[in-house]
Amino acid sequence: MHTVRSGSPFETLASYSRAARAGDIVAVSGTAALDARGVALFPGDAAAQTRAALETALEAAAALGAAREDVIRTRIYLLAGTEWRGSVEVHGEIFRGVDPANTTLHVAELIPQDCLVEVELDAVASGPVKA
């Protein structure tokens, strides 16, 4: 198995990786729009947080050989009460033409403070591990 870590102290605390690859399967852990210090980017803007989180998730997948076109499933977790349309529209922009399976749902709480959105993705890698 190959893994990619972002350097987040939470990864060490919880013993997990940003993404993992077994065979050709790549799974990217829940990813929020955070800066290097773990502070939420774009407070109050679910669409901007979705874009940043998906970009981070796609970078992790790419390090393990999975391109955007290899993504087969995405999940968008929205903090309860968060307007969903902007997040879904960003997902549509990023994955148009790929059209992976998707689940979008509201949840009671997200762990990163001030985060409205967390995303996950799964892919079948078409390329070699780069990390």
Sort 92 into a burial class: Cβ within 10 Å, 0-12 / 13-18 / 19+: exposed
Q: How many domains does the chain have?
A: 1
Q: Is the pLDDT of residue 131 over 70?
A: no
Instruction: Extract the tokens encoding 4.
Output: 């990619």
Its domain, for residue 107, covers 2-124
Helix (H) or strand (E) holding 85: helix 85-95
Q: Is the pLDDT of residue 61 over 90?
A: yes
d(C-alpha 92, C-alpha 88), whole Å: 6
Rounded (10°) CA dihedral 122, 45, 80, 29: 20
Question: Is 131 a member of any domain?
Answer: no
d(C-alpha 106, C-alpha 39), whole Å: 21
Q: What is the CATH number of the domain that holds 108?
A: 3.30.1330.40
Question: Is 52 a member of any domain?
Answer: yes
- pLDDT band, very low/low/confident/very high, at 72 (cuts 50, 70, 90): very high
Instruction: Extract the tokens encoding 104.
Output: 């979008």
Question: Is 63 a member of any domain?
Answer: yes
Angle subtended by helix axes 46-63 and 85-95, to nearest 10:
30
Question: Is 130 a member of any domain?
Answer: no
Residue with tokens 């803007």: 45
d(C-alpha 46, C-alpha 119), whole Å: 12
For CA atoms 39, 42, 43, 45, the dihedral sign is negative
pLDDT tens digit string along 74-83? 999 999 999 9
- pLDDT band, very low/low/confident/very high, at 51 (cuts 50, 70, 90): very high
Q: Is the pLDDT of residue 70 over 90?
A: yes
Question: Is 42 a member of any domain?
Answer: yes
Instruction: Note the pTM of the prediction, 2 decimals.
Output: 0.95
